[in-house]
Amino acid sequence: MSERTFLLPDVGEGLVEAEIVAWKVRVGDVVVLNQPLVDIETAKATVELPSPYAGTVVALHGNVGDVMEVGKPLIVFEVGGDIGPAESAVGAEGSGPVAEGVGRTAVLVGYGVADEEAVATRRHRRTAGDSSAPTPVGAPAVATPGLAPRSTPPVRLYAKQHGVDLATLAGTGRAGLITRDDVERALSSSPVPGARPSAPITGPTSTSRFVGRELESWATGPKEERIAVKGVLRSMSDAMVQSAFTSPHAAVWVRVDVTRTVELLASLKQHANLSGVRLSPLTIAALAFCDAARHFPGINSSFDNATNEVVVRRTVNLGIAADTPRGLIVPNIKDADQLDLVAMASALDVVVDKARNGTTTPNEMIGTTLTITNVGPFGVDAAMPIIPPGTGAILAMGQIAKAPWVVNDQVVVRYVMELAMSFDHRQIDGALASAVLAHVGRFFQDPAPALIAG
């Protein structure tokens, strides 16, 4: 028998740390090859790590909530003979095992994205406590030291609004998850004395959400709260500082009559063949931005500081800024310029839903070439966003609202939207940026011919 140490691997590009979300094994457990060991939360995704060994767990390094450095010991195994690490634990380039060794560990191959609904996330974890094993499927939720009851963000918000303590409930959902039905049953059978439901949330997000977690009530909470900068918040902070102080930002904007876009989307939604396809102005923006890149390839570029070169790409990996319970992330749609209306709508559905559920993979977070951020649902007319590092431009969509507009010298009511674009002025000048934004604007003004031609 011999001991083998599993070091925390880099599950993405250049990640340096990860937070322990949930242990799936305990000391003394006998595990098989590729058995899930632990869920970790990186700056990019919640990831489930498989075992690179078959053997007995003799030590776990770190508790739930601890932030671990990549390359540091995570789990110690006792294995029979001189068994080496599994094929699934070798680096992406076949450079060696993700186990004991010197220097940075290779990227782990064979990991899976964890089921966000089945693990505790930062938003509903309490202070770090003891590790815990997973709840068997079909079993009611059991309170575990160091963890808050498991549920999804909408259920937690619904329970909070109605004064229901989730710690008093047994979850009937998958793996003991507390569902909305569980909360409603509690409300109908045993109302909480003195509970006052909060006002309904009518906007796109709760005002209690801040940097990916819930704060105490303004009236009853502490006078000051300090929030550790880690995970998604750390990634966003570092990226924005890097971009703001390395890329000379400039911006252009335009106000556009989008009445025909609104009418076209309303008409398409009634089409039987498009039943179930979620079409929105974001779909049109994605198609328009990709079309602009085909006409003006220079916009789909980045500045390589190391080589002092401009890199122009002939394919668009379209980043979509997503507001999630974990914070702001920007997953991307690979080869978005090859997609038609329906394919783009479906791709946007997938990328946004995965971001909100916390199941975005590390691969979906790298290689972005252009980005769109939509501030319209927040009731905002315009924004001048910071360019994501490694890209050349980001398009911001404002809200669509009725406004007076001059058509054939007559003032009429039209649907109007503000479009703005920040760009890296090192390789993109004002003329190119203006041409791109004007192209996107024309697409919105009359999308049907552009969609047919595309």
113-163 residue pLDDT tens: 444 444 344 333 333 334 334 343 333 333 343 344 566 655 666 676 677
Query: Which pLDDT belongs to residue 219?
Result: 65
Query: Which pLDDT belongs to residue 224?
Result: 73
Domains of the chain: 2-113 (2.40.50.100), 243-453 (3.30.559.10)
Query: Which pLDDT belongs to residue 238?
Result: 76
- Separation CA 154–CA 378 (nearest Å): 18
State the catalytic residues: 425
Query: Which pLDDT belongs to residue 96?
Result: 37
Contact 363, 109 (CB under 8 A): no
Concatenate the DSSP letters of all residues of 308-370 into one string: TEEEE-SS--EEE-EEETTEEE--EETTGGG--HHHHHHHHHHHHHHHHHT---GGGGS---E
- Separation CA 132–CA 175 (nearest Å): 14
Mean pLDDT within 337-347: 94
The four Cα atoms 135, 141, 145, 146 give a dihedral, to 10 degrees, of 90
pLDDT at 276 over 70: yes
Task: Identify the residue with better confidence: 357 or 37.
Answer: 37
Instruction: Measure Cα distances from 434 to 26, 85, 290, 420, 438 in Å.
Output: 59, 55, 15, 10, 6
Q: Given pLDDT bands bounded at 50, 70 and 90, which one contains residue 289?
A: very high
Contact 30, 130 (CB under 8 A): no
Q: Given pLDDT bands bounded at 50, 70 and 90, which one contains residue 88?
A: very low
Query: Which pLDDT belongs to residue 352?
Result: 87
Task: Identify the residue with better confidence: 301 or 450.
Answer: 301
- What's the pTM? 0.59
- Separation CA 125–CA 45 (nearest Å): 17
Q: Given pLDDT bands bounded at 50, 70 and 90, which one contains residue 45?
A: low
- The pLDDT > 70 percentage for the chain reads 70
Query: Which pLDDT belongs to residue 12?
Result: 61
Average pLDDT, the chain: 76
Query: Which pLDDT belongs to residue 205?
Result: 39
Task: Identify the residue with better confidence: 393 or 365.
Answer: 393
- R_g of the chain computed on alpha carbons: 25
Comparing 2-6, 93-97, 238-242, which segment has the lowest mean pLDDT? 93-97
pLDDT at 167 over 70: yes
Return the amino acid letter for 158.
Y
The closest alpha carbon to 41, from 146, 99, 119, belongs to 119
pLDDT at 106 over 80: no
- Separation CA 29–CA 219 (nearest Å): 47
Q: Classify each residue of 75-102 as buried b or exposed e, where b means 16 or more C-beta atoms within 10 Å of its C-beta.
A: bbbebeeeeebbeebbbeeeeebbbeee
Query: Which pLDDT belongs to residue 13?
Result: 54
193-232 residue pLDDT tens: 333 333 333 334 333 344 444 555 666 667 777 777 766 6
- The pLDDT > 90 percentage for the chain reads 39
Q: Given pLDDT bands bounded at 50, 70 and 90, which one contains residue 43?
A: low
pLDDT at 389 over 90: no
Contact 61, 74 (CB under 8 A): yes
Task: Identify the residue with better confidence: 107 or 235.
Answer: 235
